[in-house]
Amino acid sequence: MIDHLLRYPDEATAMAALPAYASEGIEPGVRIWDMTCVIPNVAAYRIMGSEAVDDGEGGTYEHEIREYLPGWYLIIARPERDPALEGEACVLIGDRETGAVLHAITTPEDLATLYLEPTFAGSDYPFGAPIIATVE
């Protein structure tokens, strides 16, 4: 499966640009994403360090300091690479089965510090998508 990571200013803009991946919801006039092939509202971030946080019971734990990338992200899964999704909004295209990055608007060094969550189950990318944050 080929995953296309897309970035838009907000969800409304994404919904307007990708009508084939949404349908009418239960409420009239409200569209919803096709969750069989779309993961909406993906967090794209870098871990900038950690800090000790009081757990409220006399102990502490380490908390990640995250720097979120600007924009609103979603992942669209297709059986093959989809040229219709490779426009201006396309940030990354990856082959979920092999972990190969087929297209990226950044360097491999930059990808090494990138985290995305959630991702599709079975994703094996060479960047930091946490395994614990996958969905099917």
- Structure confidence by residue, pLDDT tens digits, 59-116: 888 888 889 999 999 999 999 999 999 999 999 999 988 888 888 888 777 787 888 8
Instruction: Say whether pLDDT at 50 is over 90.
Output: no
Average pLDDT, the chain: 85
Structure tokens at 82: 């989809």
Domain that holds residue 10: 2-135
**How many domains does the structure of the chain reveal?**
1
Q: Which two three-digit tokens encode residue 78? A: 């297709």
Percent of the chain surpassing pLDDT 90: 45
Q: What pTM was computed for the model?
A: 0.81
> Tokens 């396309």 appear where?
90
